[in-house]
Structure 1
Amino acid sequence: MWWASGSLVLVTFASALQLVVAYKPLSDDTLKHRLPLPETADFDIHTGNLLAPILIPRVPGTPGSQKVLKHFVDFFRTALPTWTVSFQNSTSKTPTHGDTDVPFVNLIASRDPPWAQPGNVGRLTLVAHYDSKYTPEGFIGATDSAAPCAMIMHAIRSIDAALTKKWENMQTQDDIDLEFEEDKGIQVLLLDGEEAFKDWTATDSIYGARSLAEEWEHTMHPATSIYRSPLDSIELFVLLDLLGSPENLQIPSWQHSSHWSYVRMAEAEQRLRQLGMFKSNPKHTWLPEKNKKDTDRFSSYVMQDDHIPFIARGVQVLHLIPSRFPSVWHTINDDAEHLDIPTVEDWALLTAVFAAEYLELDDFFESLPTEHIKGRRALTSKTEL
């Protein structure tokens, strides 16, 4: 990601009108007793099932990249076997590789209602890049963006059973006509080649995102479909980047058209803090612009990141990146030891809550085992006194 230079470009899209979506906040009971919380077993920097395997150099086309990609594939195969996983491949020359084409592999995972046709499903899309920077040698990119990948993995796993239950319930209800229901699914994009190999330019950056956006723009669904293309099927593109630092790094509302989604996530953050469910610094507020007005400035194109080729094609984007980067950004110190794991786990929880609310899953979470509830009570007891 990079700050754009020069004057701010303002572009108006017909599709930039606010999307009207159903959105049901989770109850306090669900938050306290039903929604799975992040666990140390997943986020320990040395042994965590989700995070630790990503904390290695993973420059596109290298064995490290292939190893991390296999970690993602194994995760879906074992933890989320009902998801559909595919890959979008491309190659490109870079300023550092001469005439050699570098391969880029985007992982695409999705889950749609079992009765729905792909062209008729609008998808919440959670996104992070998994590649690491070419230099300095040995660069890990823990906040950039190993931790965001693990946050998304936790979020989708924690809501998957509730999603199954909701769709099973819909199929058995006599008063629900599935032909007239809005089909809503979820999609994950783990993108390759976000980092520049030399200097951030329009051609030396976001290799995977540019390739995928262009391909999806020209991949047509059947003529009778509700959505024209896979690009058109994205209801909201939620991009996580540079998250997991112990610093109090605040995230502005970057996009006017998707400010409604920023407000929803800010409200979820506020509730989780009030309930005492966050482990990180209680004095921090990540999303402070909940009350931003329509007439205020939205700097949609200032921050260069994987969302650019999507927002340029009219996709609504919720860009979760701080306006002030972590102090370790693009240095060798952006490593596992400089992550704040309570912050990482809290972002994983907030992402899960947002996804669950977006997909209206409040009524479909099962009660957690007693030992999980006891641990949660210990976490929240100070707030509840």
Structure 2
Amino acid sequence: MMLLTSPLLWLAAVPSLVHAYSALSDDTLKNLPRGGDDFDIHKGKILAPILRTRVSGTPGNAAVLKHFVDFFTNSLPEWKLEFHNSTSTTPTSNGKQIPFVNLIATRDPPGSQVGEVGRLTLVAHYDSKLTPKGFIGAIDSAAPCAMLLQTARSIDKALTKKWEAMAAEGTMDLDDQKGVQILLLDGEEAFKSWTHTDSLYGARALAEEWEFAFHPTASTYRTPLDSISLFVLLDLLGSKGSKIPSYFKTTHWAYKHLGAIETRLRKLGEFKSSPNYPVKVAKRKNKKPRGEPRFLTDADKPEDKIYFMGGAIEDDHLPFMARGVEILHMIPSSFPDVWHNLNDDGEHLDMDTVEDWTRLVTAFAAEWMELEGFFEAKKAERGEYVGKTEFEIP
């Protein structure tokens, strides 16, 4: 991604459609999985295999793609996997065509046909930067990829249970049903220096192809792009203290939903990065609650007080946005200090923040898919507050 010094506002010309959306109960929020040992940076089954150099067209890139495929194949067999392949020369390839492979993982209601179902689309790029040599890219974007894998795993059984219940009751109406899709995109990073042609290789190729991949004539959605109800892009997440503004006025309603989840999780004592997390409070001599930070800083602001700077940051959303797709961009407005340097590795991730973002994205996906009542009851492992539990969230 690249931060523009003279931002252009990319605002859609039409308002967002109103989507059905159902909040999770406090008990469900408390019991959402965190990632745990699978997010261990050395041995974790989800995150560790991504924490390596993975420049597009290299064996490291292919190994990470295989990790994703193995994860879905072995753990989530109900998800449909597709590859989108393209090639391009780059400023460093000396005329050689470099391959770019996007992975598309989709879970639609059973019995749905092509073009019938709108989808929540969760997105991250998985390639790493060519320079500096040895660059890992933990926030950029190994951790976001791991978050999406965990989200898929966390909601999978609830999706099955919901759709089975609807089928049994005869209430499966595909006109009202939604699917969920994960895009793991290749070739986001520039090989030499960021330009409109040396960046976003996989995203540009996929958006271009999907624009003209027409569904059958009578379909509800004309193309795969039309099927995207909301394109949620995660990038540069995993550093402590990063703040995410609301970039687009047309998707501010979705940003506010995400902000409401964050507020609830913080007040429930479920955010490990919070200074008021129960275990941290218990260790302090002064048990008085401290000021509560927040990731989503514009969630409670009036819209006339928000500068919607969509387009100020170039990222994988741009080719989709240019074709009318609604975007929710989860990226800090001030990039973390480790951005594009060798300190962006597993050791510099704030794992409490990584787990908190994972639960936030999982909760948002669960609410979007209206999964309340379909999760397995499970007691969360967490401490209890000592003293008062109330604090102010700015």
TM-score normalised by length of structure 1: 0.93
Structure 1 stretch displaced more, 23-32 or 318-327: 23-32
Residue in structure 2 matched with residue 244 of structure 1 by the alignment:
238
CA contact (8 A) 1:125 1:236 kept: yes
- 2:173 partner letter: L
Look up the equivalent residue of 1:299 and give its one-letter code. Answer: M
1:357 is matched by which residue type in structure 2? Answer: E
Out of 361, 368, 379, the residue aligned to residue 371 of structure 2 is 361
**Which residue of 27, 46, 53 maps to 2:49?**
53
- In structure 1, what is the equivalent of residue 35 of structure 2? 38
My pick for the range that moved more, 211-220 or 284-293, is 284-293
The separation in 1 between residues aligned to 2:327 and 2:34, in whole angstroms, is 26
How big is the shift at 1:145? 0.2
Residue type of the partner of 1:36?
A: P
Q: Aligned pair 1:178/2:173, yes or no?
A: yes
Do residues 331 (structure 1) and 327 (structure 2) align?
no
Which residue number in structure 1 is paired with residue 251 of structure 2? 258
Distance 1:380 1:116 in 2: 46
Residue in structure 2 matched with residue 98 of structure 1 by the alignment:
94
Distance 1:381 1:67, change over 3 A: farther
The answer to whether 1:3 aligns with 2:3 is yes
Find out whether 1:318 has 2:328 as its counterpart: yes
| C-alpha contact (below 8 Å) 1:109/1:189 kept by paired residues | yes
CA drift of 1:67 comes to 0.4
The amino acid of 2:355's aligned partner reads: E
Q: Is the 8 A contact 2:11 2:250 kept in 1?
A: no
**Any idea what the Cα deviations from partners look like across 1:135-155, whole Å, max 9, x if unmatched?**
001000000000000011111
Alignment map for 1:1-385 (pairs within 5 Å): 1-6=1-6, 8-13=8-13, 16-33=14-31, 35-39=32-36, 41-174=37-170, 176=171, 178=173, 181-246=175-240, 248-282=241-275, 283-295=292-304, 296-368=306-378, 373=379, 375-376=381-382, 378=383
Alignment gaps of 5+ in structure 2: 276-291
Give the whole-Å Cα distance in 1 for the aligned partners of 2:161 and 2:62.
34
Q: 1:261-300: per-residue Cα shift (whole Å, max 9, x none)? A: 1000011011000000111133431001013334442111
Worse overlay, 347-356 or 282-291 = 282-291
Contact 1:277 1:379 in 2 (8 A): no
Partner amino acid, structure 2, of 1:275: L
| 1:19 positional shift | 1.8
The Cα RMSD (Å) is: 1.6
Which amino acid is the alignment partner of residue 29 of structure 2? L
The answer for unaligned runs of 5 or more in structure 1 is none
Q: In structure 1, what residue type is equivalent to 2:329? A: H
Partner amino acid, structure 2, of 1:291: D
Identity of aligned residues (%): 57
Q: Is the 8 A contact 1:116 1:183 kept in 2?
A: no
Q: How many residues align?
A: 373
Q: Quick one: structure 1 residues 47 and 197, their matched pair in 2 at CA, closer, same or farther if it must change by over 3 Å?
A: same
